[in-house]
Amino acid sequence: MISPCINVCRMHEPSGLCEGCLRTIDEIAAWSTLDDAAKHAVWDALDARHEQWIQRDAAKAGDAR
């Protein structure tokens, strides 16, 4: 299964997530040892995190007005 890494490897300290792929450091470290079911679970979590990330950015944009 393909990795979610997009080679933007910077940890966002407040959230504890990579700014590129939105994985935690533990998910990044374990990726190569996870079975397909666990990798699917990470991908599912990333979908939810991406939505939260978008909402957070939208809220920041609204605050800037």
In a domain, 6, yes or no: no
Predicted local confidence at residue 20, as pLDDT: 95
Q: How far is CA 59 from CA 34, 50, 52, 64, 65, in A?
A: 34, 14, 10, 9, 10
- Is residue 4 one of the residues assigned to a domain? no
- What does the alpha-carbon distance between residue 21 and residue 28 come to, in Å, rounded to a whole number? 9
In the chain, the number of structural domains is 1
Whether 5 is in a domain gets the answer: no
- Summarize the chain as % helix, strand, coil (round to 5): 55, 10, 35
Q: Which domain range does residue 36 map to?
A: 11-63
Q: Is residue 3 part of a domain?
A: no
Let me know if residue 19 belongs to a domain. yes
20 belongs to a structural domain: yes
Report the predicted TM-score, pTM, of the whole model to 2 decimal places.
Answer: 0.81
Mean pLDDT, each 10-residue run in order, the chain (65 residues) = 96 94 97 98 95 86 74
Q: What is the pLDDT of residue 61?
A: 84
